[in-house]
Amino acid sequence: MVQYLYPVLFALFIWWFSTGLILYLDGLPKRTIRWSMLGATSLLALAVVGLVAIRSDMTVMGAYIGFASGIVIWGWHEITFLMGLVTGPNKGPCPADCRGWRRFITATRTLIYHEIALFVTAIALIAITWDAANQVGTWTFVILWVMRLSTKLNVFLGVPNITESFLPEQLHHLKSYFSRRPMNLLFPVSVTASTGTAIALAAAASNAAAGPAEAAGFTFLATLMTLAVLEHWFLVLPIPVENLWRWGMRSHAVAEPDKIPRPHARHPKETNADMGATLLNPTKSQV
């Protein structure tokens, strides 16, 4: 039982902590982006090295390293996207008259560079671990990629519960591409297919013929897929998801120093009445 419990707890912690950390970093002032990217890129390099090093490592530790490496590589892409560094050629909101395929194409242009980067990375990881004994890291990344793409499509087509507060200021224009609907036709397909995959992975982990390393690896993947299914249900259930990462959202509520309004300097001839009128009517010309 312990051989399943520890991987589940590790996956849950990594999922919760990495999500909160990324949210926190993306909410910091823009002057911190270079330092965040320096730290993230350093971790990315370690993750790639680790993934290559454990290609043939069929131990429980190898499964842990592979899973963590896949999460770090995915996290690097999430940071570059949410910080607005790798998005798409379209930087503006959706036009009011945009409908149908034109709306889909316009929305795609807001993040196509990010999607291409994810696709290229997935192909590279598959190539690196092709015929390798340990492919936990590669499948971790692939699951995250496919399930996030499913989430994006469902949010585009329409769901009732959208966590717009997770978007940093530089990506607020993406809100105009979201749709609020009770349900869309893709959602039940996404949930059914992902639930079936999670069950299959859990069955593989509990297979009596699986060794400790295989059991740990499949447990990581089954837990990750289950969390992805849960995130899909968050889209339709009235659950305050933000509470899970309230600590990571604190940076979003802090105004940047250069955006904090400075007190208006009082003119020598300005009376107290004038000051009161200005406070009650902020659009009044201040000279």
pLDDT class of 254 with cuts at 50, 70, 90: low
Tokens (6 digits) for 227: 């969390």
Query: 62-71, 144-153, 240-249: lowest mean pLDDT where?
Result: 240-249
pLDDT value at 255 more than 60: no
Q: Which of 202, 200, 194 is nearest to 219 (CA)?
A: 202
CA-CA distance, 250 to 180, in Å (whole number)?
A: 26
58 compared with 273, residue with greater pLDDT: 58
In contact, 169 and 99? CB cutoff 8 Å = no
Query: 55-64, 203-212, 231-240, 266-275: lowest mean pLDDT where?
Result: 266-275
**Residue 260 pLDDT:** 42
Q: Which of 179, 144, 145 is nearest to 162 (CA)?
A: 179
**Sequence-separated (6 or more) residues with CB below 8 Å from residue 280:** none
**Residue 239 pLDDT:** 85
> What is the pTM assigned to this prediction?
0.85
**Residue 169 pLDDT:** 85
**Residue 264 pLDDT:** 47
In contact, 141 and 122? CB cutoff 8 Å = yes
Ramachandran assignment for 131, one of left (phi > 0), alpha (psi -120 to 50 degrees), beta (any other): left
- Residue 95: DSSP 8-state: P
CA-CA distance, 18 to 14, in Å (whole number)?
A: 6
**Residue 233 pLDDT:** 95
Query: 38-42, 114-118, 182-186, 276-280: lowest mean pLDDT where?
Result: 276-280
The domain limits of the chain are 2-255
Coil vs helix vs strand at 275: helix
pLDDT value at 68 more than 70: yes
**Residue 168 pLDDT:** 85
- Residue 183: DSSP 8-state: -
Coil vs helix vs strand at 148: helix
Tokens (6 digits) for 70: 């896949």
Give the mean pLDDT of the chain. 86
Mean pLDDT of 70-78: 97
Q: What percent helix, strand, coil does the chain show, rounded to 5?
A: 70, 0, 30
CA of residue 221 relative to chain centroid, distance: 17
> What's the pLDDT tens digit per position in 47-65?
999 999 999 999 999 999 9
Mean pLDDT of 23-28: 91
**Residue 259 pLDDT:** 45
Q: Per-residue DSSP letters for 220-264?
A: HHHHHHHHHHHHHHHTTS---GGGGGTTTTGGGGSPPGGGSPPPP
Q: What proportion of the chain, given as a percentage, has pLDDT over 90?
A: 65
Q: What proportion of the chain, given as a percentage, has pLDDT over 70?
A: 88
**Residue 205 pLDDT:** 92
pLDDT value at 124 more than 90: yes
